[in-house]
Amino acid sequence: MFDPAIVPNPYLPLAPTIEAPTGRSFEGQRLRRAAILATTRRLLAQGHEAFTLRRVADENHVTVQTVRNSFGRREDLMVSAINEHTSAVWRALSGFSSGPMLFLDLAQMYFHCATATPEFLRAMVTQAVANAPSLSVLQQHGSAIKLGHLRRLGREGVLKPPAGGRQQAAADRRGDAQGRGPGRGLGAGAGGVSGRAEPPVSSPRP
């Protein structure tokens, strides 16, 4: 049974995703960074006009230059804030769920997050879609986390290739080597699939 209590609150400072050096000064930097990212997510939820580097800096009692030095441009700060929340979601899931159920619980996680903080989820999608480079970075971050979990499930023997999966993979490799593209070594294309490359379909994934 999914426990909504594990859902991270995007408006609160979140635990760091990497090990930071110890010491009072480093701890202060870590806390300030977490606070700035939490402020960013809260302002994003308030609307496009509310999220400015000046507002983020003022609410954290630092200069705009300090924010720029730590995160870069406005778009870079937005990406860092959303990616931190994505990492927190997966970190919470890893301590609660395991195996293939982890991906089902991920859907539950975002459902509860959308119920509790709909403005943030709406802003996360609309702001990212409005900026193609930011969307690409967000997707890469989320995909890397998911791929890591899938590889771990594969190593544990939880995931198994479908029937004929190995043969299809080998055919794809042969097709790539001969310049035909994946799957065409088995005659793909004769069944209504054109030889023209289809444009990729992108969708925002937190």
What does the pLDDT average to over 62-86? 94
Q: Of the ranges 50-54, 68-72, 114-118, which one carries the lowest mean pLDDT score?
A: 114-118
Segment 77-105, tens digit of pLDDT: 999 999 999 999 888 888 888 777 888 88
Q: Model confidence at 16, in pLDDT bands (50, 70, 90)? A: low
Report DSSP letters for 153-202, one per residue.
HHHTT---PPTTHHHHHHHHHHHHHTTS-TTGGGTTTTTS--SSPPPP--
Helix axes 132-155, 101-116, angle to 10 degrees: 140
pLDDT at 73: 94
Q: Assess whether pLDDT exceeds 80 at residue 158.
A: no
114 membership: H or E segment, kind and range: helix 101-116
Quick check: pTM over 0.85?
A: no
What does the pLDDT average to over 135-160? 76
Q: Which CATH topology does 19-155 take? A: Tetracycline Repressor; domain 2 (1.10.357)
**Domain map of the chain by residue range?**
19-155
CB-based contact 93:114 (threshold 8 Å): no
- SS3 of 51-92: the string is CCHHHHHHHCCCCHHHHHHHHCCHHHHHHHHHHHHHHHHHHH
pLDDT at 66: 95
CB-based contact 70:81 (threshold 8 Å): no
Rounded to whole angstroms, the Cα distance separating 75 from 131 reads: 8
Q: Which of 108-112, 131-135, 138-142, 189-193 is most confident?
A: 108-112
pLDDT at 141: 78
What does the pLDDT average to over 25-47? 91
Q: Model confidence at 184, in pLDDT bands (50, 70, 90)? A: very low
